[in-house]
Amino acid sequence: MDRIRRNERMTAMMKLLSGTPNRIFTLNSFCEMFGSAKSTMSEDVDLLRQVAEQFDLGEVDTVTGAAGGVRYRPVVSRAGALATIRGLCEKLSGTERVLPGGFLYYSDILSTPEIVNRMGEIIATEYYRAEPDFVLTMETKGIPVAFATANALGVPLVIARHSSRVYEGSAVNINYVSGGGSIETMSLSRRAVKENQQALIVDDFLKGGGTARGMVELMREFNVTVVGMAFVMSTAEPEKKRISGEKALMTLKVTDGEPASAEVKPAAWLEEKPGA
């Protein structure tokens, strides 16, 4: 075999690293793959880090210690996040997408992979430090963005259901008060999570916070800590939700009128400096 060149090694490494975000690859595994010395691989990794930074493509990191190695995180800069969300807000605002009852049609946004992946990366960027063990969502509409977030964090997705199913084994059911004020059931398979894990809740829509509150209570039943909550869209009203500490990407206000119009804005935290 010909000697593998640096540009070949770097290209292959970037594909492998960015294809499985937040997973640590040992330097040895790359040494074996390319038949290169460890010092050469270290230089390659340094260059990868610089390229990722230069072109705003996320972060390549070296993790030290026994389980150490190289990992890629699709970290999105605050400026990049704000630009993406502003674009979405523009697309969603106006009269065209308002449905009877003051609802907003944005199912298409929630299932276009390029948009969903980007939203997942923006959310993941906020929660790498919290180190969730899994992402929790409630069926149905938030599943793609919750999955994309889980992918960016390199952790599994866990889906709570409206009712327990025979093909998921024994389950924990809880009741919660939905947005409409009715009592609903939320169900999760016993096998889905382990005690003392950390959960990040991700969902598409936050209004009163009833469903989110239900998910928090469900996690309590499993002795799981909720380390964060993120939503694609949060309504301006009611201002006081049944949960707190959440991060939404956008806020929605539907104004009366003929026709009714939607005002969609980037959430306030996106306009702040990161870490502020």
Binding region for a second copy (CB under 8 A) out of 78-86, 148-156, 208-216, 246-254:
148-156
| Residues numbered 162-181 forming contacts with a second copy, rule: CB under 8 A | 166-169
| 90 contacts 82 by C-beta, under 8 angstroms | no
Query: Strands 134-138 and 157-160, how do they pair?
Result: parallel
Per CB under 8 A, does 122 bind a second copy? no
Per CB under 8 A, does 103 bind a second copy? yes
User: 153 or 267, CB closer to a second copy?
Assistant: 153
What whole-number distance in Å separates Cα of residue 177 and Cα of residue 164? 18
Kindly tell me which residue out of 27, 29, 31, 33 binds a second copy, with binding defined by CB under 8 A. 33
* Cα angle, residue 14 at apex, residues 10 and 15 outer, rounded to 5°: 120
Query: Strands 198-206 and 183-189, how do they pair?
Result: unpaired
What whole-number distance in Å separates Cα of residue 142 and Cα of residue 111? 9
Kindly tell me which residue out of 29, 40, 42, 47 binds a second copy, with binding defined by CB under 8 A. 47
Query: Is the four-CA dihedral 222, 183, 234, 171 of positive or negative sign?
Result: positive
Instruction: Give me the residues that bind a second copy (CB under 8 A), please.
Output: 6-8, 10-12, 14-16, 18-20, 23, 33, 47-48, 50-52, 54-55, 57-58, 99-101, 103-105, 107-108, 111-114, 116-117, 139-141, 143-144, 147-148, 150-151, 154-159, 161, 166-169, 189, 191-192, 205
